[in-house]
């Protein structure tokens, strides 16, 4: 059982971050957790044409005017909420705030328009995916209204059988057990390329042995008590991983995708450089990215050494 006592929600007062806030409120209410609403003011570089002091004062005035409105939305739903306003590099301040409040999850909005997309799904989120010790729950626009995890009925967990797979499954079951949600464990087997006598073009061959082995391993991932708490199914697809994951999300009309993110290793570039990023950008539902347990432990140890 995953315990969530503190939820961190970074906001920039856009429609995207307000959607994320509504989801964070539902998550916090469902777990009886405290909600921490964070806004980061990026450093202003002085120049001949910009009065940095005056501009920062204007920004802070806007922040102090908008933050109470967001807190009121949370408190109206019966959630204990508190504001955090920081100045600095956005990604670093999000990580620092997550550590300070001991957040079990960070809920972020995902912008659709490229002009403002960079804040949440560009370099900031990319760095958070690679380095954050806290699970990230990213909320996109989507065609169906999703404002509360209590609505979760169909959850997809994508796995490559790495060390963090069990952790991702635990999060999925914990989020979906109150509604006895349908949990679909998905593994995608990349097609093998076999070259026929040159100069014939190589053909794609479906690796049947790998598929059968994957089906067996998926079944072995499911603990006995998991099936008592949720309906658990398994599925193996063949093809380009990110395309197949997105296809399954659309076909199943998934309410949430849970995926574990690797730390340093030979698969990191493939997962964070292409598959995970493409899935997060294209997913029609919220995506929860779970960092490796070892990464969370290592960061905690580093923090204790610095403060000891």
pLDDT digits (tens, 9 = 90+) for 43-81: 877 776 767 788 888 888 999 999 999 999 999 999 999
- The secondary element (H helix, E strand) that includes residue 88 is none
Binning pLDDT at 50, 70 and 90, where does residue 131 land? confident
Confidence (pLDDT) at 210: 80
Confidence (pLDDT) at 120: 46
More confident of the two residues 185 and 141:
185
Domain that holds residue 45: 1-147
Inform me whether the pLDDT recorded for 247 exceeds 90.
yes
Inform me whether the pLDDT recorded for 298 exceeds 50.
no
Inform me whether the pLDDT recorded for 140 exceeds 50.
yes
CA 191 vs CA 7, 80, 215, 246: distances in Å: 40, 49, 16, 17
Q: Contact, 85 vs 37, CB < 8 A?
A: no
- CATH number, domain of 74, equals 3.40.50.620
Mean pLDDT, the chain, rounded, equals 80
Q: 196 and 249, same structural domain?
A: yes
Confidence (pLDDT) at 113: 44
Q: 49 and 156, same structural domain?
A: no
Q: 139 and 209, same structural domain?
A: no
Total domains in the chain come to 2
Binning pLDDT at 50, 70 and 90, where does residue 200 land? low
Q: 257 and 195, same structural domain?
A: yes
Structure tokens at 85: 């306003």
Q: 107 and 240, same structural domain?
A: no
- Phi then psi for 192, rounded to 5 degrees? -80, 145
CB atoms near residue 307 (< 10 Å): 6
Q: 172 and 76, same structural domain?
A: no
Inform me whether the pLDDT recorded for 189 exceeds 60.
yes
Q: 157 and 61, same structural domain?
A: no
Q: 157 and 141, same structural domain?
A: no
Please tell me whether residue 143 adopts helix, strand or coil conformation. coil
Please tell me whether residue 241 adopts helix, strand or coil conformation. helix
Confidence (pLDDT) at 83: 96
Q: 108 and 141, same structural domain?
A: yes
Closest CA to 128 of 303, 299, 301: 299
Q: Give mean pLDDT, residues 144-164.
A: 77
Q: Contact, 121 vs 10, CB < 8 A?
A: no
Output the pTM of the full model: 0.82
Closest CA to 261 of 176, 181, 171: 171
């Amino acid at each position: 059982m995953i315990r969530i006592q503190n939820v961190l929600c970074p906001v920039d007062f856009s429609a995207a971050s307000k959607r994320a806030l509504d989801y964070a409120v539902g998550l916090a209410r469902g777990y009886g957790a405290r909600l921490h609403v964070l806004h980061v003011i990026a450093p202003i570089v002085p120049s001949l044409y910009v009065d940095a002091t005056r501009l920062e004062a204007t920004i802070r005035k806007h922040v102090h005017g908008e933050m109470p409105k967001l807190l009121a939305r949370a408190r109206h739903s019966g959630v204990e909420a508190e504001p955090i306003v920081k100045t600095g590099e956005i990604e670093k301040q999000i990580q620092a705030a997550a550590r300070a409040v001991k957040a079990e999850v960070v809920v972020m909005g995902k912008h659709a328009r490229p002009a403002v997309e960079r804040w949440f799904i560009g370099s900031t989120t990319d760095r958070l995916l690679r380095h954050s010790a806290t699970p990230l729950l990213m909320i996109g626009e989507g065609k169906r209204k999703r404002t509360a995890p209590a609505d979760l009925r169909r959850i997809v967990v994508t796995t490559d059988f790495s060390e963090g797979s069990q952790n991702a499954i635990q999060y999925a079951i914990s989020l979906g057990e109150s509604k006895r949600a349908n949990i679909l464990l998905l593994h995608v087997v990349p097609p093998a390329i076999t070259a026929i006598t040159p100069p014939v073009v190589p053909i794609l061959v479906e690796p049947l042995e790998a598929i059968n082995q994957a089906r067996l391993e998926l079944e072995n991932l499911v603990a006995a008590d998991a099936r008592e708490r949720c309906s658990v199914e398994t599925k193996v697809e063949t093809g380009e991983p990110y395309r197949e994951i997105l296809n399954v999300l659309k076909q199943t009309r998934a309410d949430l995708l849970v995926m574990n993110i690797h730390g340093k290793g030979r698969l990191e570039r493939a997962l964070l450089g292409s598959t995970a990023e493409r899935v997060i950008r294209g997913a029609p539902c919220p995506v929860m990215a779970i960092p490796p347990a070892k990464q969370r432990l290592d960061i905690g140890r580093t923090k204790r050494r610095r403060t000891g």
